[in-house]
Amino acid sequence: MYQTILFDLDGTLTDPKEGITKCVQCGLRAAEIVVDDLDQLTWFIGPPLLSSFRKYPGMDETRLPLAMQAFAERFQTKGLYENSLYPDTVTLLRALHAAGKRLALATAKPERYGVRILEHFGIRQYFDVVSGCTTDDKAVEKDVILQEALRRLGISESEKATAVMVGDRDNDILAAKVCGIPSIGVRFGYAQPGELERAGADHIFDTMEALQAFLLQ
C-alpha cells in the first residue's frame, strides 16, 4: 500500500519524556518560571520548541531567548540521551526495511540532533532521509519539515498517495494534510485524548505491532 513512510521521532519512535521535560524545566527556570512537576511539561513533546515556550503562561519575548538557550545547553549535553526507543521500534524498522520500504525521519528537532539520536540508537541505516529544523532559534512548522523530506526523497505529486506520515501529535497529521499525503496517528505517544481524531488522521493505531502489520500489507 505505502512504499514511502515518513516518521516523526519524539513520541513515535522514541520516548523522550525525561530529557525534554527536564530541559524545558531548565529553560523555564532561566526565564524565572518554576515548574516542579515534570508531567505538566509533556505537551512540549512534539511541536516546535520555540512555539511551545512562547505559549507558556508567564513567558514574554524578552525572556524567550534565555529559555531557549538554557534548554539547548542542557539538551546537547544531557537531554539528548535521556531518551529511549519504544520496545518494538527496531523490529518495525527492520521489517519495513527488509520489505523494501523507503523510510524518512521528519522531526521538529534541529536536524543534527535527529541524526545523532538515530546514530545513538543504532538505527540511522534504516533511513534514506533525515529532515528537521536547520536552526535552534526559529519556529519551523512541521509541514515545512515534511515538505523538505518529500523533496529530498524525490516524491512527485503523482507518487504522494504512496507515501504516508506517521506521528503521535496533531501537528504531524496536519502537516501531512498540508503536504497532500495520507497520515497515521499512533496513540502510544503524547497526544491528548481525541487529538488525533480531531486532526483528521486517516488511520490510528494503539500499538507498534498493529502499525507494523498495517504498513506491511
Phi and psi based region of residue 103 (left: phi greater than 0; alpha: psi -120 to 50; beta: remaining):
beta
Chain-centroid distance of CA 44 in Å reads 11
Q: Which of 8, 143, 170, 172 is catalytic?
A: 8
The verdict on whether 8 is a catalytic residue reads yes
Amino acid making up residue 205 = F
Written as one string, the DSSP assignment of 45-102 is SSS-HHHHHHHSTT--TTTHHHHHHHHHHHHHHTGGGS-EE-TTHHHHHHHHHHTT-E
Long-range contacts of residues 208-215, Cβ cutoff 8 Å, at least 24 apart: 208/86, 208/87, 208/88, 208/89, 208/91, 208/92, 209/88, 211/92, 211/166, 211/184, 211/186, 212/88, 212/91, 212/92, 212/95, 212/96, 214/184, 215/1, 215/2, 215/5, 215/92, 215/96, 215/101, 215/164
Instruction: Give the active site residues.
Output: 8
